Amino acid sequence: MAASLPSQCSSLCKINGEERDESIKKVERSYERYRELISTLPNGKGWAFDLCLYEGFWYERLFGLEGIMFAQEYFQARPTNVFLISTPKSGTTWLKALIFAIMKRTCYTNSTHPLLTTNPHECIPFLEFRLFREPPVTDVEKLPSPRLFATHIPYMLLPKSILCSGCKIVYVCRDSKDVLISLWYHMAKMRSKDLPPLSLEEGFKLFSKGLSGYGPFWDHVLGYWNASMECPQRFLFLRYEELKKETSINVRRLAEFLGQPFSMEEERERVVEEIIKLFSFKRLSNLEVNKNGSLNAFTKSDVFFRKGEVGDWSNHLTTQMAESLDQITNEKLHEFRLFREPLVADVEKLPSPRLFASHIPYTSLSKSILCSGWKIVYVCRDNKDELISLWPHMAKMRSKDLPPLLLEEALSCSLKMRSKDLPPLSLEEAFKLFSKGLSGFGPFWDHVLGYWNASMECPQRIFFMRYEELKKETLINIRRLAEFLGQPFSMEEEREQVVEEIIELCSFKRLSNLEVNKNGSRDAVVKNDMFFRKGEVGDWSNHLTTQMAESLDQITNEKLHASLPSQCSSLSKINGEERDESIKKAERSYERYRELISTLPKEKGWASDLCLYEGFWYERLAGLEGIMFAQEHFQARPTDIFLISTPKSGTTWLKALIFAIMKRTCYTNSTHPLLTANPHDCIPFLELRLFREPPIADVEKLPSPRLFAAHIPYTSLPKSILCSGCKIVYVCRDSKDVLISMWFSMAKIRSKELPPLLLEEAFKLFSKGLSWYGPFWDHVLGYWNASMECPQRIFFLRYEELKKETLINVRRLAEFLGQPFSMEEEREQVVEEIIELCSFKRLSNLEVNKNGSRDAVVKNDMFFRKGEVGDWSNHLTTQMAESLDQITNEKLHELMLFRQPPIADVEKLPSPCLFAVHIPYMSLPKSILCSGCKIVYACRDSKDMLISMWFYMSEMRSKELPPLLLEEAFKLFSKGKLNRVGRNAAHMGCDLVHNCWTLERTILSETHHSFHCSNPLSQRCDSGQLVSQSHLHLSPQLLFDRIVWWSGFQFTHEPMT
């Protein structure tokens, strides 16, 4: 076989060589055809070389035209390709660097980045200049995806494969005047020294006539502008001036368009700013490779870096030249809205449905709007808040050209900034103007009334909304809006909480904090932050006098009361009365609860007095009233999910995991609510948040499945929860860690007027059961017993097991919640992503959890301390720990999760049961041998068994004994045993293998139990998949005790379910 390979290899190389030669000849013949065609094209005088006209555009023959023709004929684009396209000297070099840095940001460090040693034109090569300029051409088919290319090819000359492939195109244009100046300098370096210098006047004339490489400039720009309007998902149209002015915003837009949006983590690490700083025009131009390097024998790298400034044309062009170019721009690009000229946008070309906004009064609407059947959404606001919001806004917009006395005209002016030389517009003056109706698009009341009357006459066309209602009941009104607009939310969208996503995405707080809205601008005058002040309802009360407020209310009554239909005021009255009655009813209930609480037994607590209710202790101000309200009024649904625990048992982390599991198809990792919201906001506490005090949350309006949390003991749960069939996840934690975590937490809540609570005092209170929702052990036992009776409804978790085997338990959680991970999700490592997203470390380092707060008292960082298992050992004395363990043994002797001598009641486990043992065949309980259960036995090479056992026993061996040598272990193993190794011993022998081999041949029937048998350490089984693997943690003596117990253990024979 080896001898025959060389001849095949050389034969293959020979064939490849012949094919390569033929390919080169074919390409050369193509280029000969192109040269013949080019020789017949119309010619014109150029900047450095003669130009030829091809399909409406001018080219320098030696610079790309042959490459364009080759690309048109042969280039095959892929859907994943990315193209950067521009006219020459439009900022291509800088944008190449930015795009390469965005797309490859995970591939290089800042110190090893290729752009530090390579010109950007090498990183993203030109299709026609570099790859296809002349034969032999580059074999671009071998380039991996996504391929990054650049080109100056006009839109109508693009290869068909690019137009049809679905690839993405970024186009950058620049002010024609700056393009001219940059091109003039560039061509001066390219022009032959035998020719006289090209004067600016000559360059201006050629450029104005369209005689420039890839010109006319305006036709080039317009082609891609129109394409971007028709297909914005494929074409991103950028202006160099905007990229320079708002680089951060546009880099984010670029990344999102290219399918590489910056994650929240990258935003926190300021990756965007690093890219901008690392590859700024100034830094790139100062790199050695760009100062003294070259692309080829003719082109030096420094020709691509001159100034990169906006408006440098003003240092070169005469006023006449500039006006002439602006006139051409207006004539050629009058449809192009990016050039802010008096010419209006051609809205006829916008695709349907078109979305517009307007402040035009109803009586001034164009007839086409009134007669077309358009839909109109009108929103009005309390006139007092309207005035207050309008006052600071108009103060910013006040004209610098008007004298101070013309306040009426100044207030209605919205296009010029108020002069700093003028005195501020006082609230009193603004109030007088507003009251007279002298405001932009005013009078306010006439504006509102016009649309109100129209909405009454034609409600199917005009949707009338109040800002206050939209703020208060956003969820309901968003659904109403969607229905009115003909886009109602489907049941699937409701299940996926699309409405909530929209509300979160568009929240006033989030929008106002976006970079584009904080630092962006509409134009040179209007800044984006002017549109975001407070957005609050009733803020007028912080500014208006009582007399002002009453005056505005009186005008409202006079203007609107007589005209508005009686049914409207009647409806408002009914809604108000119903709402008030609902609040009063809740307040009466809470008064009853407070009276009852005042009669309950009380004891000294951790931060305040505790009161005893239904066998458990509560802090009155923290949940007890809410529990009573829930018991009386809460109606659970079968689809509800509850996370329940004692305080400080890992609730915050588990909330995050459950929310991420249930909502994993709703958000991306970069837009997940858990990155900006505390887990307690995602899954609210029933008694502590929703029902804490009136007015209470209307949980009936929440879509299913609803996610709630509670600390309520099992015996105090509302009956509707017990009877509804909803699912409950309960998490418990080692009592010692709970005590320490609670002690630290309560120290932050405890009044500063009280002396600090000593750990010894907290220990005594906790041991007596005097803790929040305590006694701890009764709380745990209640849910443990319930989980044994109804395991399909109550999922019992230990925090320690969740920490140790997170992956396994997240899968178990998902399955229990009815959202198991699919095979595809497993392949895409969705489980691992959720664990990473919700890791205690990541959550605790998020800004919202470090510096956010629940209310004036509770800060979010209180929910994140260490999250470690066993941290109690750093605080409790041995006596304290033993005392708590003793209480645990006494109280929870039925709870098998606490590994104590009382054995687990495995009879209560649902079928099929999965067990694992190391018991030799002859020691198996008779019930196993006779029941017909199935056994899987794993054996291993004895030599590997010995080595694995030796390492394992070395770790288990007492430190008081000398290390066990491999030779000693070998002798013991060879004799079929390991003698006492410190306090550990184990049974081993080849007979175990033989007997279980015999057993395997005798098992024929099928029942409801399955066993995994093995030699110790022959295979480390996934303990989370089994009901119990305590043998991995027990000493051999305890293992022997279990063997004795097993021999009396009886199994019942029943069919597998």
Catalytic position from the list 113, 711, 918, 987: 711
Q: Catalytic residue at 875?
A: no
| End-to-end Cα spacing for the chain | 56
Residue 330, exposed/middle/buried by CB under 10 A (0-12, 13-18, 19+)? middle
Nearest to 412 by CA among 371, 384, 444, 375: 444
Measured in degrees and rounded to the nearest 5, phi and psi for residue 711 equal -110, 10
Q: Are 978 and 988 in contact (CB under 8 A)?
A: yes
Cis peptide leading into residue 962 (ω within 30°): no
Give CA–CA dist 119/123, Å, rounded.
7
Could you list the beta-strand ranges (E) of 900-976.
913-917, 934-938
Q: What one-character-per-residue DSSP string does 332-381 give? A: HSTT-TTS-SSSPP-GGGSPSSP-------GGGS-HHHHHHT--EEEEE-
Going 599 to 603 to 605 to 608, the CA torsion angle's sign is positive
The amino acid that residue 749 corresponds to is: I
* 666, two tokens: 């709703």
* All residues at 6 or more sequence positions from 618 whose CB lies less than 8 Å from its CB, including other chains: 610, 611, 624, 627, 772, 773
Inter-residue contact 798 to 732 (CB < 8 Å): yes
Question: What kind and span of H or E run contains 641?
Answer: strand 641-645
- Cα separations (Å) of 715 from 632, 746, 828, 908, 964? 14, 25, 42, 21, 54
| 1037, two tokens | 């003596």
Of the candidates 897, 877, 862, 883, the residue with the CA atom closest to the CA atom of residue 766: 883
| Nearest one of 164, 272, 154 to 218, comparing CA atoms | 154
**Residues 169 and 85 sit within 8 Å (Cβ to Cβ):** yes
Under 8 Å CB-to-CB from 737, ≥6 apart: which residues? Answer: 799, 868, 869, 870, 871, 872
726: left (phi over 0), alpha (psi -120 to 50) or beta: beta
Closest CA relative to residue 669, chosen from 843, 807, 833: 833
Q: What is the DSSP letter of 62?
A: I
What single-letter amino acid sits at 399? Answer: S
- H helix runs in 696-758, sequence order: 719-724, 735-749
* Cα(234)–Cα(98) distance, integer angstroms: 19
Closest CA relative to residue 848, chosen from 675, 705, 974:
675
In whole angstroms, what is the distance from residue 214 CA to residue 225 CA?
Answer: 16
Q: Are 631 and 696 in contact, with CB atoms under 8 Å apart?
A: no
Structure-token pair, residue 127: 């299709």
Spatial contact of 237 and 171, defined as CB atoms under 8 Å apart: yes
Strand order in the sheet with 57-60: 43-44, 51-54, 57-60
CB atoms near residue 499 (< 10 Å):
18
Best CA proximity match to 479, nearest among 466, 465, 489, 491: 489
Mode of pairing for the β-strands spanning 235-239 and 168-173: parallel
| Inter-residue contact 333 to 318 (CB < 8 Å) | no
Report residue 226 as tokens: 């129109």
Burial grade of 1026 (CB within 10 A; 0-12, 13-18, 19 or more):
middle
Q: Are 497 and 666 in contact (CB under 8 A)?
A: yes
Could you give the residue numbers annotated as active site? Answer: 711
